[in-house]
Every structure is written in structure tokens, then in C-alpha cells.
């Protein structure tokens, strides 16, 4: 029996499709930076934020370090020093430049960073045109990982740009042409009940997933309920008005110590304006939309609100079991609003709204390996596994996430005190 075509190496059609997708993803990163002034590219507003030009260079370094250097014969780096400057945290690859000092890198210039991207793109085109047959499958796997990695950094770019601009007393807008949805009436919060039992979670091996989403395995949950939508700004404002930031009984000990030390009184980017609330957005300072999902909460704030409301955060297993059959649709970066929006009243009284998009939803689950987890081989094994300590899981994507990048098994993770990401919450309770 003859072998099927492309049995031992990727088909030309697959290579062509991946090449087209490579160009699309890379172009999107540059489009996101087009509204920036030259002076914006090098600002680092806190240690967790990276300057926009560093993001543009780092995602190019990823392709250079893990594809061009090992697989493209005769590849010559544009500047060998970039291997140190734009290595994020891969200790087995080399010595990363300190994260908190990325803002001191006035050189390379923005123009030189774009030239670096062009150099990498030209070299990647050569690699994808004629991948070495023996390594072709591995090359395609790494290209896919590199594209998913760049999409993660596209969301990080928007998070970081928002934080950078919010520190400026002028409160400049990233863009003044962002789509703003019409005001929506309040949608009552309902509770959706889910039966307990044993169910599968984790990625099922069809299509791309990060290593931390595998292996698929069974979990047991008790009967539980989930709120039909995320918590709104109006509901969170009630928590504030009830003295929520002054009630120690609502807070975990670490969270209480943090808000006392940092003097938090509201979500990040909220401001008191003429007796009401406004918030800084990527479109500048706007009046707070009371029906939109509350955003830019730390895990501690989400946990405190849930306690105040007589509920809790869902586990990541509860969230995923409820979301597995839901369409991945919602307010993503493609909608070009770059801000959580109030959902219209549902057409029916069943199911969950805004599971995907708008805001990442904090869960009550620690970011830990699944049973049987195996990190990727080599330096790429540092991608996820070594961060499985002290962080909490978020689910569902947000208004700055590329829609094709998200799935029900996707595990985002942040430290409990972080809140510059587009993060909110959905309530859960026992059945």
C-alpha cells in the first residue's frame, strides 16, 4: 500500500496556511502600536509593565531563539546583543535582561526594533519556504507556539499601554475612535444550577493548547450554581458604598494587609468625579458604565466582593464544565471596543452570559499542574510549568484577547495582587 501524501512531512498547503497566519499575527502586533507616539514606546510604568518596543522585540526574539537559530542553516543574527536584551525568563537559554529595568533600554531605538522584526520575518519566510524535512513537524509545532505567544503579548501590549497612559496626569487616550456600545438596561442576575459528579476537563488533544491545559482528566464536583453574568460596576459600587474596603471580615489576611498598605479604595482606574465614578479606558477618561462588568480587580478584591455578597468564586473545574459546550463568542479585541461592555438582555432565561470575552474571570483555584502534566522538552519547558506557584487561575478571555486564541480549557494565571489585567469575576455558590 502506498503512503498517503504528506505522511512524513507537512503538506505544502499546511505550510502555506501557516505562513499566511504568521504574517497576519505579526502585522496585528504592529497595528496595535500604530496609535502610539514615539515617546510612548519606551515607557515602563511599573516593574510588571514592559515598554511597547520591548514587546515587539521580544516576540521576534522568540522566533529567532527557538526556530531560526536551531533550524535555519546559515542564519545570522541582526545583533547578537539582542539575545540577552529580549530574553524574558529563559534561564536555560541564557541570562535574561532584568525585567524591572526594561525601561532603561533607550537603545535599540524604535526604528531598530522594527528593523529587527523585518529581519526575523524575512528569515522565517525562508525557513517556512524550505523547512528541513527531518525537523519540519517540530518547526511547525514551534511556529504555532510562537504565534500563540505573540497573541498573548498583543493582549499584554494593550494592558501595558493602558497602564502607561493612565499614569500621565493628562490622561491621554490610546485611541479616540474606539467603538462605544449604547447604554443597556440592567440585566438581573440569575443563578444557573449544575449537577455534581465526575466530568472531564483539560484539552482533548485536537488542535493547539498550551502544555498547562493537558492532560485531559476527570474531576469530581458537588452540585453548584453559577451567576448568569459577571458582577457589574453598579454591584461593585454597592460594595464600596457599604464600606467594603474597610471591612476586614470580607478580606483574606494577605488582601487586607495589601489594601491597607496600598490605600486601595476602588478598582484600578476608577476615579471619583463630581460625586460619581469615572474610569480610565484606552479611549481616555469616561463615565463609568454601571451595567458593564467590573474590571481591573485583584484576586483579593474579587474574593472580598464574593464574601460580601454571600457567595464565592467558582473553581476552575466548575467554570470549565459549565463552559465546555458554550460558543467562544463575545466582546474580544476584534470588536474593537477594548473595554468591557454591558450585555444586552438575554433572549431566553437559561444559560450563562458573557462567559467569553469582556473580562477574565477570577476563579478560586490555584495555578497548579494537572495530574500527569509534562512540560515541553528543553528551554520551551520554561514556558508555563515553572510559574505554577502562588498564582491563581482566570478563565474566559477579555476585550483585549484575540478570539481565536481562547477556548474553554484555556488557563490564564496571575498573582493575587495583580490587577492591571482586564480581570473581573462571576459569582458561584453551593446548590
DSSP string, 30-74: HHHHTTS-GGGGG---STT---HHHHHHHHHHHHIIIIIHHHSTT
Q: What is the pLDDT of residue 163?
A: 98
Q: What is the pLDDT of residue 350?
A: 63
Q: How many CB atoms lie within 10 A of CB 201?
A: 20
CATH of 191-430 among 4.10.140.10, 3.90.1150.10, 3.40.50.1400, 3.90.1580.10: 3.90.1580.10
Q: How high is the pLDDT of residue 375?
A: 87
117-126 LR contacts (CB < 8 Å, sep 24+):
117/26, 117/30, 117/56, 117/57, 117/60, 119/78, 120/60, 120/63, 120/64, 120/68, 120/78, 121/23, 121/26, 121/60, 123/64, 123/68, 123/72, 123/75, 124/22, 124/63, 124/67, 124/68, 125/19, 126/72
**Residue 104 — left, alpha, or beta (φ > 0 → left; ψ -120 to 50 → alpha)?**
alpha
Q: What does pLDDT average to over the chain? A: 94
Q: 243: buried, middle or exposed (CB in 10 Å: 19+, 13-18, 0-12)?
A: exposed
Give residue-wise pLDDT tens across range 51-105: 999 999 999 999 999 999 999 999 999 999 999 999 999 988 999 999 999 999 9
- The pTM for the full model equals 0.95
The three-state secondary structure class of 412 is strand
With a cut of 50, say whether residue 5 has pLDDT above it. no
CATH 1.20.120 domain extents, the chain? 12-166
Q: What is the pLDDT of residues 339-352, one digit of tens each?
A: 999 987 664 556 89
- State yes or no: pLDDT of 395 exceeds 90: yes
| pLDDT classification of 281: cutoffs 50, 70, 90 | very high
CA–CA distance, 397 with 405 (Å, rounded to integer): 9
Q: How confident is the model at residue 4 (pLDDT cuts 50, 70, 90)?
A: very low
pLDDT single digits (tens) 131-140: 999 999 999 9
Measure the CA–CA gap between 198 and 195, rounded to whole angstroms: 10
The whole-number pLDDT of residue 140 equals 94
**Residue 382 scores a pLDDT above 90:** no
pLDDT at 11: 65
Distance CA 83, CA 94 (A): 8
Q: How far apart are CA 191 and CA 171, in angstroms?
A: 39
Would you say residue 2 has pLDDT above 60? no
Where, residue-wise, is CATH 3.90.1580.10 in the chain? Answer: 191-430
> Could you confirm whether domain 12-166 is CATH 1.20.120?
yes
Amino acid at each position: 500500500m502506498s503512503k498517503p501524501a504528506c505522511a512524513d512531512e507537512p503538506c505544502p498547503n499546511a505550510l502555506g496556511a501557516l505562513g499566511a497566519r504568521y504574517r497576519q499575527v505579526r502585522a496585528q502586533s504592529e497595528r496595535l502600536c500604530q496609535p502610539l507616539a514615539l515617546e510612548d514606546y519606551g515607557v515602563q510604568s511599573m516593574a510588571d509593565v514592559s515598554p511597547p518596543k520591548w514587546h515587539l522585540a521580544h516576540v521576534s526574539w522568540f522566533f529567532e531563539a527557538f526556530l531560526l537559530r536551531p533550524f535555519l542553516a546559515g542564519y545570522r543574527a541582526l545583533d547578537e546583543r539582542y539575545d540577552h536584551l529580549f530574553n524574558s525568563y529563559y534561564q536555560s537559554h541564557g541570562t535574561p535582561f532584568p525585567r524591572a529595568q526594561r525601561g532603561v533600554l533607550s537603545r535599540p531605538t524604535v526604528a531598530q526594533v522594527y528593523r529587527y522584526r523585518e529581519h526575523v520575518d524575512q528569515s522565517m519566510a525562508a525557513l517556512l519556504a524550505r523547512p528541513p524535512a527531518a525537523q519540519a513537524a517540530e518547526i511547525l509545532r514551534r511556529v504555532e507556539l510562537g504565534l500563540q505567544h505573540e497573541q498573548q503579548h498583543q493582549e499584554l501590549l494593550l494592558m501595558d499601554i493602558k497602564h502607561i497612559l493612565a499614569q500621565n496626569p493628562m490622561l491621554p487616550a490610546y485611541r479616540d475612535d474606539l467603538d462605544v456600545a449604547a447604554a443597556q438596561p440592567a440585566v438581573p442576575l440569575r443563578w444557573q444550577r449544575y449537577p455534581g459528579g465526575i466530568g472531564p476537563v483539560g484539552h482533548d488533544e485536537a488542535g493547539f493548547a498550551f502544555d498547562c491545559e493537558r492532560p485531559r482528566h476527570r474531576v469530581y464536583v458537588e452540585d453548584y450554581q453559577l451567576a448568569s453574568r459577571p458582577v457589574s460596576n453598579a454591584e461593585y459600587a454597592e460594595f464600596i458604598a457599604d464600606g467594603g474596603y474597610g471591612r476586614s471580615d470580607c478580606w483574606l489576611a494577605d488582601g487586607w494587609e495589601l489594601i491597607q498598605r496600598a490605600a486601595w479604595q476602588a478598582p484600578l482606574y476608577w476615579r471619583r468625579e463630581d460625586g460619581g465614578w469615572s474610569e480610565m479606558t484606552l479611549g481616555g477618561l469616561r463615565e463609568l458604565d454601571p451595567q458593564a462588568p467590573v474590571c481591573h480587580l485583584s484576586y483579593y478584591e474579587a474574593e472580598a466582593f464574593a464574601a460580601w455578597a454571600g457567595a464565592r468564586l467558582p473553581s476552575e473545574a466548575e467554570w470549565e464544565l459549565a463552559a465546555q459546550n458554550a460558543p467562544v463568542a463575545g466582546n474580544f479585541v476584534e470588536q474593537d471596543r477594548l473595554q468591557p461592555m454591558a450585555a444586552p438582555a438575554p433572549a431566553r432565561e437559561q444559560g450563562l452570559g458573557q462567559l467569553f470575552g469582556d473580562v477574565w474571570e477570577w476563579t478560586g483555584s490555584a495555578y497548579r499542574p494537572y495530574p500527569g502534566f509534562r512540560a515541553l522538552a528543553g528551554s520551551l519547558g520554561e514556558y508555563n510549568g515553572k510559574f505554577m506557584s502562588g498564582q491563581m487561575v482566570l478563565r474566559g478571555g477579555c476585550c483585549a484577547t484575540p478570539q481565536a486564541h481562547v477556548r474553554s480549557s484555556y488557563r490564564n494565571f496571575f498573582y493575587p495582587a495583580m490587577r492591571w489585567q482586564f480581570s473581573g469575576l462571576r459569582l458561584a455558590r453551593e446548590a
